[in-house]
Amino acid sequence: MATGQEIRRFTGHTGTVMAVAFSPDGSLVASAGQNKTAIIWETATAIQLRRFPDHGGAVPDLTFTPAGHTLLTVAAEDGIREWRIDENPSELLDWIAANRYMPELTCRQRQRYHIDPACDDVY
């Protein structure tokens, strides 16, 4: 800040950037803007890590949750979206397995989709 010199440049948006937020630990920076897209960057290298396109309109605001595992983006036309941003895909898969709701299949569904163990009482 003292010198006012550019340290690194983050490129990738095709329109005006409307919001920027740093993750709680400072390792990530997110940006969002008029091109209906949010991008997450590695702060130290300016490498694009994730891109979240296709909001219903411009994205004027975003923030990281306190734990830093989730990014929230806001668009007037599309509401608030929640994005998981775990860096380790296996951690994300573990989180999905632990937090998803999957009802037990009926005997008819097991038979229809050829899922074992099959049921004997299909009507």
pLDDT in tens, 19-71: 999 999 999 999 998 888 899 988 999 988 888 877 777 888 899 999 888 89
Q: Tell if the pTM clears 0.85, that is, is over it.
A: no
**Nearest residue to 25 via CA among 43, 50, 9, 7:** 43
CATH level 2 (architecture), domain 1-87: Beta Barrel (2.40)
Average pLDDT, integer, range 8-14: 88
Contact 32, 19 (CB under 8 A): yes
Burial status of residue 71 (CB atoms within 10 A of its CB: 0-12, 13-18, 19 or more): buried
Distance between CA atoms of 79 and 91, rounded to whole angstroms? 27
The letter for the amino acid at 77 is E
* Rounded Cα gap, residues 103 and 86, in angstroms: 26
**Cα 74 to the chain's mean position, in Å?**
13
DSSP letter string, 56-115: SS---EEEE-TTSSEEEEEETTTEEEEEE--SSHHHHHHHHHHH---PPPPHHHHHHTT-
Instruction: Please report, for the chain, the start and end positions of each structural domain, with discontinuous segments joined by +.
Output: 1-87, 88-123
